[in-house]
Amino acid sequence: MKKYLKYIILFIIFLSSIIFMNNNEELYHTPILKITNIYIHDTDIQYNDTLKEEYYYETITGKIINGKFKNKELSFENIHSFSGVYDEEYAKGDEVFVSINDNGSISEVINLRRDKYLVPLFVLAICLLLAICNLKGLYTIISLILNMAIILTITYLRDQNISIFLLFGIGVIIMSSLSLLLTSGKNIKTKIAILSTIVSLFITFIISFTIIKIFNNDIPYWYMDYVDILYDYKEVFLVSVLISGLGAIMDISISITSTLNEIITNSPRISKRSLIKSGNNLSEDILGTMVNVLLFTSISGCMPMLIYVMRNNIGIMTAINMYAKIELIRFMTGCIGILVTIPITMNIAIYFLKRRASK
């Protein structure tokens, strides 16, 4: 029974988060309407060139579940389209934040309530980390919290007119060091991985910065989100390039270092050539998966916009050139980072680990 106690406690915590998020309406100051009925009273089809869009006009009724209007039935009019690009489609049972006039009518629908689903998912991820990784899972959670705190601090300091590039340059070093120390412990492997990560990032950035400067006029900065209100949009882009492959670089650094450390520990007299061969074999195994991770991440970032643009009769190559080029630059930078990290980590790791073994 004792060996299952941890899993039982974590399962109870997960269930408690679901129960809590479904029964905490009174904690919100904004009125929440739980939708009980949706009546579609009209439809309309509109055409834009060859694009067809169907619109639904509906009356939505629900019950207020918190505040001074609790248990009062209210309704509002909603229009949603088939594509749902600019509007929201509601379903029976959804909860929405609303603004209510003094006369008791809804003046505005603020937003759909999503935290009742997101919080249990977040708790589930934490519980799985603790269940599978034990103490390392806890350290991973701590590193995530600290990294988010660092990013929020950097965002705040940027508003104080401090260069976001300088802030993230320092922040990346701190975040990578903290993450590796917490997840891998304080040992020579971690120190080598931290050094390899920082050196690899520095070299990757120099290569990427040079390429970006050469092709600066061909980079469509104006397609970045909110570029019109960013006074430092070029620095923001460089920062995104800097951190795009950080996770993959850290993972490769610690993987190669751990493997070489294990080999040298078991065979202290192994030759440098054999170590390089072992490192290359490992690199070939993890290179493909890491590149694909970066590719899928980049695709997920630009896919919604590509689909939206192509739906408006813009060709796929034009859409990619206009809206996916930024993501492709980040992807290629991440790939450069991975390729640079492999030889750097192997050389640093072999130097320090062989040096320790000889002593």
More confident: 354 or 100: 100
The domain locations on the chain are 1-133, 134-358
Tell me what the mean pLDDT of segment 22-37 comes to.
90
**Tokens, residue 63:** 């019950």
More confident: 92 or 155: 92
Going from the C-alpha of 291 to that of each of 107, 210, 262, 330, 357, the distances in angstroms are: 49, 22, 25, 12, 33
For the four alpha carbons of 174, 246, 258 and 339, in that order, the dihedral sign comes to: negative
Tell me what the mean pLDDT of segment 265-273 comes to.
81
Tell me what the mean pLDDT of segment 210-238 comes to.
66
Residue 222: which pLDDT band, with cuts at 50, 70 and 90? low
Tell me what the mean pLDDT of segment 279-307 comes to.
79
Q: Which of 164, 146, 147, 145 is nearest to 155 (CA)?
A: 164
More confident: 232 or 308: 308
3-class state of residue 76 by DSSP:
strand
pLDDT for residue 16 is more than 90? yes
- pLDDT on residue 18: 93
pLDDT for residue 204 is more than 70? yes
- In this structure, the number of other CB atoms found within 10 A of the CB of residue 206 comes to 11
Query: Which of 32-36, 229-233, 243-247, 303-307 has the weakest average pLDDT?
Result: 229-233
Query: Which of 173-187, 234-248, 299-313 has the weakest average pLDDT?
Result: 299-313
More confident: 81 or 322: 81
Tell me what the mean pLDDT of segment 212-241 comes to.
66
Q: Within 13 Å of residue 251, how many CA atoms lie on the same side as its CB?
A: 15
* Long-range CB contacts for residues 351-355, cutoff 8 Å, separation at least 24: 352/188, 352/191, 352/192, 353/188, 353/192, 353/257, 353/260, 353/261, 353/264, 354/264, 354/272, 354/275
Tell me what the mean pLDDT of segment 56-65 comes to.
91
More confident: 231 or 39: 39
Q: Rounded to the nearest 5°, which phi and psi values hold at 64?
A: -70, 130
pLDDT for residue 223 is more than 70? no
pLDDT for residue 81 is more than 70? yes
- pLDDT on residue 15: 94
- pLDDT on residue 165: 76
Q: Within 13 Å of residue 173, how many CA atoms lie on the same side as its CB?
A: 9
pLDDT digits (tens, 9 = 90+) for 94-109: 999 999 888 888 888 8
Residue 164: which pLDDT band, with cuts at 50, 70 and 90? confident
pLDDT digits (tens, 9 = 90+) for 86-97: 788 888 989 999
The Cα 251–Cα 241 span in angstroms is 18
- pLDDT on residue 147: 87
pLDDT digits (tens, 9 = 90+) for 123-133: 999 999 888 88
Helix or strand (DSSP H, E) at 337: helix 325-358
The Cα 135–Cα 184 span in angstroms is 11
pLDDT for residue 229 is more than 60? no
Query: DSSP string spanning 275-326?
Result: HHHHHHHHHHHHHHHHHHHHHHHHHHHHHHHHHHHHHTT--HHHHIIIIIHH
Tell me what the mean pLDDT of segment 165-180 comes to.
85
- pLDDT on residue 13: 93
Computed over every residue of the chain, the mean pLDDT equals: 82
**Residue 327, burial from CB neighbour count under 10 angstroms (0-12, 13-18, 19+):** buried
The Cα 95–Cα 73 span in angstroms is 13
The Cα 355–Cα 359 span in angstroms is 7
